[in-house]
Structure 1
Amino acid sequence: MITGTNHITFSVADLNASIAFYRDLLGMKLHVFWDAGAYLTAGDTWICLSLGQPEPAKDYTHVAFSVSEEALAELRLKLQQSGAEEWKPNTSEGSSLYLLDPNGHRLELHCGTRATRLAELKTSPYSGLVWC
């Protein structure tokens, strides 16, 4: 049985640029790096950057990271100043910023939680929503 997420790996074309993005812009903690990769953490989430030829999804597939409202406001300004590209406006519960990393991977910085999303669904259910 799956007990949780172990780690998330992103294929990256330029390791140094990706480390700078995830560490310096998003504030993740860099633990170690080597010629072809790096390990960082975002809270308790382990992130691996692996040198390769990225082919990011072009659909709604993305990774969402939790942030506070205050942190999101600071990150939004910092990311705009860096030239980071937004790929989608936020239309769901909770404040979010949808952005692309330097390799085109789709990320979301989100202030809500599963509990706040489920509470929102009680007042604004999705079409065909079934509670289990």
Structure 2
Amino acid sequence: MISGINHITLAVRNIEESFKFYQDVLGLKPIQKSASSAYFLAGDTWIALTKDRTARSAPLPEYTHIAFSVSLTNFMEMKERINQSGAKEWQKNKSEGESHYFIDPDGHKLEIHASDLEARISSGKKEWGDSVHWYV
């Protein structure tokens, strides 16, 4: 049985630039850095950055993204820090809770989100009702 997400690996072109973004802008806890990789913790999830000369230079057109949890208390401060870094917004928030969607230096689509699954389910049940099969 799957017990959770072990780690997420992102291909990057420049370890130093990406390391600074994930540490200084997003505030992730660094674990390791070398010329070809860096590891961070985001809560209990390990985020790995791996230098890859074929890494993308622009975001993909699809909706796929990684969302990081932030407290509502820290949301505006985090959003401002992200905006001040020059990270571009890729979508406006359309869901429950506070969200900010932005792009990292390598074109990965990211989000900070100040809500939880319980709030998403509650909101979804009100919005979609019986048109969705709910397992919870």
TM-score, with structure 2 as normaliser: 0.91
Pair 12,127 (structure 1): closer, same or farther in 2 beyond 3 Å = farther
* Paired position in structure 2 for 1:96: 99
Match of 2:75 among 72, 75, 88: 72
1:54 counterpart residue number: 55
RMSD between aligned alpha carbons? Answer: 1.4
> Given the alignment of the two structures, is residue 37 of structure 1 paired with residue 40 of structure 2, yes or no?
no
TM-score, structure 1 as length reference: 0.94
Residue identity over aligned pairs, in percent, reads 42
CA distance change for structure 1 residues 103 and 122 in 2, over 3 Å: closer, same or farther?
Answer: same
Moved over 2 A (4+): 55-58
Q: How many residues align?
A: 132
Aligned ranges for residues 120-131 of structure 1 at < 5 Å? 120-125=123-128, 128-131=131-134
Q: Which runs of 5+ in 2 are unaligned?
A: none
Q: Which residue of 2 aligns with 1:63?
A: 66
- Secondary structure of 1:9's counterpart equals strand
| CA deviation after TM superposition for structure 1 residue 35, in Å | 1.4
Query: In the TM superposition, what are the counterparts of 1:3-22 in structure 2 within 5 Å?
Result: 3-22=3-22
Aligned to 1:110: 113
